[in-house]
Amino acid sequence: MAEFFAMGGYAAYIWPAYGIAAGVIIGLFVWSWRGLARAERAEAALGRRERRRVPKVERT
Amino acid sequence: MTASTPSSEQPVPGVRGSALHRFANPARFLRLARAVQPWLLAVTLVSLLAGLYFGLVASPIDYQQKDTVRIMYVHVPAAWMAMFGYSTLAIASAVGLIWKHPLADLAGKAAAPIGAGFTIIALATGSLWGKPTWGTWWVWDARLTSVVVLLFLYLGYIALWNAFEQPQRGAKAAAVLALVGIVNLPIIKFSVDWWNTLHQPASISRIGTPAIDPAMLTPLLLMAVAYLGLFLLLLLLRMRVELAERRVAALQLSRSRAGESR
């Protein structure tokens, strides 16, 4: 197991390479999930107000 | 993934109803995206796990590069996706400019940060591969320089989208930049053939048998499938984000207009 992590003496190059790849991809997913949740919250809040207001506007 | 509210099925006002824009209907797109997503996720996870196993465990070391050859499995597919992402961006920009297809502009906007991310992966892992094999973290050779230019094209595209108050003008300016930047793609592709550079030429795309051992080709292709799956999953997700943000903007606009008319 220790031999596997040592990567023939190149651990200092190989693991950061895999880590950066994973970090950037996971970061893109987390950023996008948060953005979607934020937008859908805002949409739900606006939609509620919209539904309350719509009949009033049609009458005027 | 994230569950969405039923209201996300409603098409954006003004987009619905046009026969020309049948496939631009966001509700139709969102339904399609939701149907494709689980299959895409399954293929991506299987190829990613298999690719990591073959790449890190069940593949031989290179007779010259020793274990550092394993960096290839996260580096080369990232470079492929960096170029694939830019092609997506350019095609979406062309469709957006020519046919005014409203989903195309959003597809380009959604693809840009993903492509930039894969470009950063390619540059960073390449640097980590260069140090033990070339003896340097960085060299301004044609391949590396043209990929840095690619990163700046992505960043410029994103900046232009956000540089205008009206989103349509930003989309148009960004699309023009994306189309002009296409010239960089063949430069990246052929830089290793046109100039005598430190970066090695392609091992896979040569006509005939690939210049790489099957034991190394297996993890490379598995990781390529996994990266493509990740790119497409991210693209669908970011398009959902962009559509949701556009719906919020439309609601805010209609609210303020209704407020004025009262």
- The pTM is what? 0.86
Amino acid letter for position B185 = L
ipTM associated with this complex: 0.85
Residue from A23, A42, A30, A26 nearest B2 by CA: A30
Distance in angstroms (rounded) separating the CA atoms of residues B120 and A38: 26
Counting Cα atoms < 13 Å in the Cβ hemisphere of B217 gives 10
DSSP state of B214: H
Does B251 reach chain A within 8 Å, measured CB to CB? yes
Tens of pLDDT, residue by residue, chain A (60 residues): 888 888 988 999 999 999 999 999 999 999 999 999 999 999 899 877 666 655 555 544
Amino acid letter for position B47 = S
pLDDT digits (tens, 9 = 90+) for B247-256: 898 888 888 8
Please list the alpha-helical segments (H only) found in chain A.
2-6, 11-59
Contact B262 A60 (CB under 8 A): yes
In angstroms, the separation between the Cα of residue B133 and the nearest Cα of chain A is 11
Cβ atoms within 10 A of the Cβ of B222, count?
22
Give the best residue of B9, B64, B106, B125 to mutate against chain A (max A CB count within 10 A).
B125
Q: Identify each DSSP E strand in chain B by its residue range.
A: none
Torsion of CA A13, B50, B42, A26, to 10 degrees: -10
Residue from B21, B33, B45, B205 nearest B104 by CA: B21
